[in-house]
Amino acid sequence: MSLTPRRPRSRRLRAVLLGAAAASVVAAALPAPVPLGIGDPLFPHLGNPGYDVLSYDIGLTYLGDNSKPMEAVTTIDAVATDGLERINLDFARGTVHGVEVNGRPAEFASVDEDLVVTPQSPVHAGEPVRITVRHTSDPNAARDGGWVRTTDGLVMANQADAAHRVFPCNDHPSDKAFFTFHVAAPADVTVVANGLPIARERQGGRVVSTYRTSHPMATELAQVSIGHSVVLHREGPHGLPIRDVVPAADKAVLEPWLKKTPGHIAWMERQVGRYPFETYGALIAGADTGFELETQTLTLFERSLFVRPEFPEWYVDAVMVHELAHHWFGDSVSPRRWADVWLNEGHATWYEAKYAEEFGKRSMDQRMKAAYGLSDGWRAAGGPPAAPRASAPGQKIGIFRPIVYDGSALVLYALREEIGTKAFDRLERRWVRDHRDSTATTADFSALASRIAGRDLSGFFKAWLYGEKTPPMPGHPDWHTQKPKHA
């Protein structure tokens, strides 16, 4: 083996070598890379400053074994909002093979759960930037979220902070973007993702399925289903295409539940207006997750929800409506900060309870009275609805406590009692109309409620959303809270 340097054989190779040398000089002049965040109080290291993501293009190669890493390519198109000498992405649990920025090789380093990229030349504010990362996506490495291994493949469960354990991203709901997925898999494997299919091409023994969203989406709502499933098609209101993804062996047993979806959508449209996306459907997974998840246009459900005999019909219906309601509250209108998550879960629980009252004869008043009694205990344990405490280390979904479900639906009940049913219904419709495909805050909701009510409700919201104690319930002086058990 010769140790004598060889001369570059082409202009292309000389340019690559010179570019790499220049990048090394730039990297040497900069301080050591560090993880960043946008300062979300609940997840301070999530998200990254300095750019706005416009779209993700994610390619995955599945070889038929859900225990092995997949080769992947993620391309991010963004606009710089500040001058950037470095670009931080959220990414962990995968191996990075290489990074390009605007088509040129870039230096990169993994620091904690950030991938820190140093382009060959700084990116200026207002400039478009394309970041391409070649990496692996490892189903075994994301035990605290991300990929979920099913009996026959994989699905995603990224809420609240796990999308970056699947693909490099700006992993915060404040930066929504369009998504395209290209998944190569064996021909006998079914692939479905968010949005609608736009291509299906055979490449040797594999088939590449391509899906694209028609509306921007938060990273936590991304979904790709890979497995031996069947896709069932039906039509919803206004010709809305509905496709359900179910284990092939369960098609018959699940059909009595799935055929209810068009009626659920029609009911929700009567409450708050037109369904906000291009398609809907249920993804039934053979996995024990302990939750259902409103992944955009393709809600993830555990198979056990539909086959366990102890669950009454009204309960399963109400859970299906809860996840559907999220497509207005949480998916179309996303939280600006994670502390605004009460707007997601409070509303989904509200419509779950309202549906259970109308079709299951489960009293809304009785449910809210019971929640009122427990509310002080929930506030003591987890904080008030709009100022929840951060979850404990290792408890990534710990913010999803009773206070953000029934405790937050209780706030909406109090608001309806305070301003009246007609004003409340106008508020709900205006909220999802005005903030469609965007993000919003608790302050935005309070301001809109005040405008519709014709009076300042800031005091009402301050007490109900931030108080350590639950305020008196308007119209129900006989309701009382219980003393917290630990007090």
Residue 209 clears pLDDT 60, i.e. is over it: yes
How confident is the model over 295-322, as pLDDT tens digits? 999 999 999 999 999 999 999 999 999 9
Edge-first strand order for the sheet with 114-118 is 87-90, 114-118, 107-111
**pLDDT at position 28:** 53
**Which of 9 and 278 is assigned the larger pLDDT?**
278
Least confident of 49-58, 222-231, 346-355, 392-401: 392-401
Residue 392 clears pLDDT 80, i.e. is over it: no
**pLDDT at position 397:** 74
Confidence of residue 142 (pLDDT cuts 50, 70, 90): low
Task: Map tokens 């259902």 to a residue.
Answer: 292
Per cent of the chain over pLDDT 90 is 87
Amino acid making up residue 191: V
Nearest alpha-carbon partner for 329 in 296, 360, 359:
296
**pLDDT at position 290:** 87
**pLDDT at position 27:** 46
**Whether the bond into 160 is cis, omega within 30 of 0:** yes
**pLDDT at position 315:** 97
Least confident of 2-11, 123-132, 301-310: 2-11
Angstrom distance (rounded) from CA 469 to CA 481? 9
SS (H, E, C) the chain: CCCCCCCCCCHHHHHHHHHHHHHHHHHHHCCCCCCCCCCCCCCCCCCCCCEEEEEEEEEEECCCCCCCCEEEEEEEEEEECCCECCEEEECCCCCEEEEEECCEECEEEEECCEEEEECCCCECCCCEEEEEEEEEECCCCCCCCEEEECCCCEEEECCCCCHHHCCCECCCCCCCEEEEEEEEEECCCEEEECCEEEEEEEECCEEEEEEECCCCECHHHCCEEEECEEEEEEECHHHCEEEEEEEHHHHHHHHHHHCCHHHHHHHHHHHHCCCCCCCECEEEECCCCCCCECCCCCEEEECHHHHCCCCCHHHHHHHHHHHHHCCCECCCEEECCHHHHHHHHHHHHHHHHHHHHHHHCCCHHHHHHHHHHHHHHHHHHHCCCCCCCCCCCCCCCCCCCHHHCHHHHHHHHHHHHHHCHHHHHHHHHHHHHHCCCEEECHHHHHHHHHHHHCCCCHHHHHHHHHCCCCCCCCCCCCCCCCCCCCC
Residue 233 clears pLDDT 70, i.e. is over it: yes
Angstrom distance (rounded) from CA 457 to CA 440? 18
Residue 17 clears pLDDT 80, i.e. is over it: no
Mean pLDDT value across residues 268-279:
98
Report residue 216 as tokens: 């921007």
CB-CB neighbours of 29 under 10 Å: 8
How confident is the model over 144-181, as pLDDT tens digits? 779 999 999 999 999 999 999 999 999 999 999 999 99
**pLDDT at position 394:** 66
